[in-house]
Structure 1
Amino acid sequence: MAIALTEAAARHVSRYLSRRGKGLGVRLGVKTTGCSGLAYTLEYVDNQAPEDLIFENHGVKIIIDPKSLAYIDGTELDFVREGLNEGFKFNNPNERDRCGCGESFRV
């Protein structure tokens, strides 16, 4: 499968990278934490590792480490505005449960 960005997420990342003045794209991954076990990580990337997997949508590169791919394969990353809040939303078909606070998930 693959990792995908919506147009809204791609626009947001592109604007940020442009303002930042550098960067290859974004790194999407997971870390062990929280009540449900896993949490998403998202950071801007200036350098990629040789083992990184690269997906590209709407002209933006999404960089994934091979260990994280098993948990997030098929995920769509969206950027949403809900009232006064805005942020990235992870639409992951592998999620089986999410903790009450929304910070972690289980596959």
Structure 2
Amino acid sequence: MITVTDAAIAAIVDIQKKQDNVNIGLRLSVVGGGCAGFSYKLDLKEEKKEGDWIYEKNGAFVFVDPKSLKLLDGLELDYFTTMSQRGFRFNNPNAKATCGCGTSFSLT
């Protein structure tokens, strides 16, 4: 299971407002690549796919395909804001190592 923080939910709702589309959700997936072997991929999508894990709260949606969900079990999806940066943050207990930017991870 994946946990989505209130900050991440608020960020998704903000994206929906900016896009003027309440049906947009965040598709989170894992793809091969990056410094450490796997990378997180985020896309804006309106539709779910068959077999997707779906998280919905306050009108915000997160979609995850079954293959990615296995690698993301226990993940916390968060959103952060600092004076110089903002974005989604991935707190993945399955990651044995991560790259400096935090968007790439390895399982071994």
1:10-43: per-residue Cα shift (whole Å, max 9, x none)? 1111011122122342111110002210000111
The gaps in structure 1 that reach 5 residues or longer are none
| d(CA) in 2 for partners of 1:24, 1:51 | 18
After superposition, the C-alpha distances for 1:67-99 in whole angstroms (9 at most, x for unaligned) are: 101111111111111221111110111110012
Q: 2-side partners of 1:85 and 1:65: how far apart?
A: 28
| Match runs of 1:23-102 below 5 Å | 23-102=23-102
Q: Distance in 1 between matches of 2:73 and 2:5?
A: 15
| TM-align CA RMSD | 1.6
- The 8 Å contact of residues 8 and 78 in structure 1, kept in 2 or not, is answered as yes
Q: Would you say the 8 A contact 1:5–1:57 is kept in 2? A: no
Distance 1:76 1:66 in 2: 17
Q: 1:19 to 1:33 in 2, by over 3 A?
A: same
Equivalent pairs counted in the alignment come to 106
Instruction: With the length of structure 2 as denominator, give the TM-score of the two structures.
Output: 0.87
Letter in 1 for 2:63: I
Is the contact made by 1:3 and 1:62 (CA closer than 8 Å) also made in structure 2? no
* Structure 2 portions without partners, runs of 5+: none
Which runs of 4 or more aligned residues in structure 1 lie more than 4 Å from their structure 2 counterparts after TM superposition?
A: none
